[in-house]
Amino acid sequence: MLSFQLYVREEDLGALNLYNARAGGFDDESEHVGLLLAAHAGVALAGAQREQRLRTVVDTRDLIGQAKGILMERHKVDADQAFAMLVRASQNANRKLRDVAEHLTASGELAVGPRG
């Protein structure tokens, strides 16, 4: 068995474990190739994770923007006031701002009860 740490810039991402059915089935070249594969896999995995985080941030920003627009139209308030309304609803319901915005855009209702 060969095990390699997957990491980038001191960020541990997991491990790459290679198995061989026979004892002594890996040689020095196997270890070298495994190190190269682990290095590339670490970079690819870190990139994929970063892309997913950015996509989540953009989606959340869009959702909050939609919720603000609903409140601006409904209550004839500006963007800052609409955002403050979302923040208050989030705090009062003890729910994430994103969850409050999602509920508002889906149901049209700002009031959200606490998580059960």
pLDDT tens digits, 14-58: 999 999 998 889 999 999 999 999 999 999 999 999 999 999 999
pLDDT tens digits, 59-76: 999 999 999 999 999 999
Q: How do the domains of the chain map onto residue ranges?
A: 2-53, 58-107
Alpha-carbon 77 to chain mean position: 31
User: For residues 44 and 69, what is the distance between their CA atoms, to the nearest angstrom?
Assistant: 37
CATH placement of domain 58-107: 1.10.10.10
pTM, rounded to two decimals: 0.67
Compute the average pLDDT of residues 4-8: 92
